[in-house]
Amino acid sequence: MSENKLSEIRDFDSTSLGMFLYMWRKHLIIISLSAAILAIIFSSSFFITPLYKSTVVLFPVSSNSVSKALLSDQVAAKSDILEFGEDEQTEQMLQMLNSNIIRDRVVQKFNLMEHYGINPRSKYKYTSLYNEYESNITFRRTEFMAVKISVLDRDPQMAADIANTISELLDSTKNSMQRERAMKGFLIVQQEYNRLSNEIATMEDSLNRIREFGVFDYESQSEMINQQLAIEIAKGNTRGIKALEERLAVLARYGGAYVSLRDQLEHEKKQLSYLKARYEEAKVDAEENLPQKFVVESAYKAEKKTYPVRWIIVLITTLSAFLISVMVIISIEKFAKPGTVKKKLHFQKKEESISA
């Protein structure tokens, strides 16, 4: 590298850069002020639609089943309906909020296609609608395991209404999905409960028919009749012996069926008692609902806009214009005639020394 070039590089150190900027100060000030003024103008509501933000903060619940929370006798299955949910329930809530079920109901209720100004005859109307929805409505997990629903809209009341509606739809959507499954489970338990009830009723009718023949308690009756038969035989009472033998014949004929039905009926009644508890729990789950969330903060109408933040736009625009102007001027000076920068700086220093 030649000595002249090395000299020019040395001259263009930090001090020279300061002198360089000072030399072009008028241009840089004019450009920066112009950029700031334009940023103020173009960041106004005439060019950028101001957006207002409303939020809802929710905590998930730990239990979903009404019967397990309130009716179950099992300590392991029983859960506290006042307990906040954990990480798993939070993830489930986020997935539910991002579902197309809630999205479509919000779109329909607030007529968002018209509200967002999307042409209903457009080929990609739903793509545009869903992109607009996702950019204005967001869900995220907070550092405290809660879920935050954020809604941006040009109408502050609309933003608050959408956020609160999504919070309400979370309950109805989740309850609807769970009720569908709970109802199928209830029908299965109900069918089994009715079947077992009918079987028990049939067995009780059969036992009543057997009792009509004089069989009430096979074991005790057999023992008593045999004891009495021995007494009558010892007495030589032929008539009494014949009567007792006839009763024993009845016991022999129907006793086995009686014992079998009695034991089976006892077992089936125990099963029915257990099944009845499951039936009642399934019925409660199918017909009753509990809130699926704890609302920590409801949405309200915002008083100040959230977007755009004009001072940030003006600051970034001004700094960007200043830096770009410096780079452009340096590039112009770099490709100017050799020694031009050095001569200008030398001339500038000379003028300052004379004025001093």
pLDDT of 78 strictly over 90? no
pLDDT of 285 strictly over 90? no
* Start-to-end CA span in the chain (Å): 37
pLDDT in tens, 160-170: 999 999 999 99
Q: Which of 67-71, 96-100, 304-308 has the lowest mean pLDDT?
A: 67-71
**What's the average model confidence in pLDDT over 88-105?**
90
**What's the average model confidence in pLDDT over 48-57?**
86
**What's the average model confidence in pLDDT over 337-350?**
50
Q: Which of 122-126, 247-251, 306-310 has the lowest mean pLDDT?
A: 306-310
What is the C-alpha separation between 63 and 292, in angstroms, rounded? 8
148 half-sphere exposure, CB direction, 13 A CA radius: 10
Specify the pLDDT at position 200: 87
pLDDT of 72 strictly over 50? yes
Kindly indicate the confidence band of residue 15, based on its pLDDT and cuts at 50, 70 and 90: low
**What's the average model confidence in pLDDT over 193-207?**
87
Specify the pLDDT at position 14: 53
Q: Which of 76-90, 195-209, 229-243, 342-356 has the lowest mean pLDDT?
A: 342-356
Specify the pLDDT at position 221: 73
Kindly indicate the confidence band of residue 327, based on its pLDDT and cuts at 50, 70 and 90: confident
Residue type at 143?
A: E
Q: Which segments of the chain does DSSP mark as H helices, in order?
A: 3-11, 14-23, 25-42, 66-70, 87-97, 100-110, 112-115, 125-136, 156-211, 218-235, 238-287, 310-334, 340-355
pLDDT of 104 strictly over 90? yes
**What's the average model confidence in pLDDT over 310-326?**
82
Does the predicted TM-score (pTM) go above 0.85?
Answer: no
pLDDT in tens, 226-281: 777 777 777 777 777 777 777 777 777 777 777 788 888 888 888 888 888 888 88
Q: Which helix (H) or strand (E) holds 72?
A: none
Q: Which of 2-6, 153-157, 289-293 has the lowest mean pLDDT?
A: 2-6
Specify the pLDDT at position 74: 54
**What percent of the chain shows pLDDT beyond 90?**
19
**Which residues, listed in sequence order, are joined to residue 59 by a DSSP beta bridge?**
294
What mean pLDDT is reported for the chain? Answer: 78
Q: 152, 72, 86, 92: which is closest to 116 by C-alpha?
A: 152
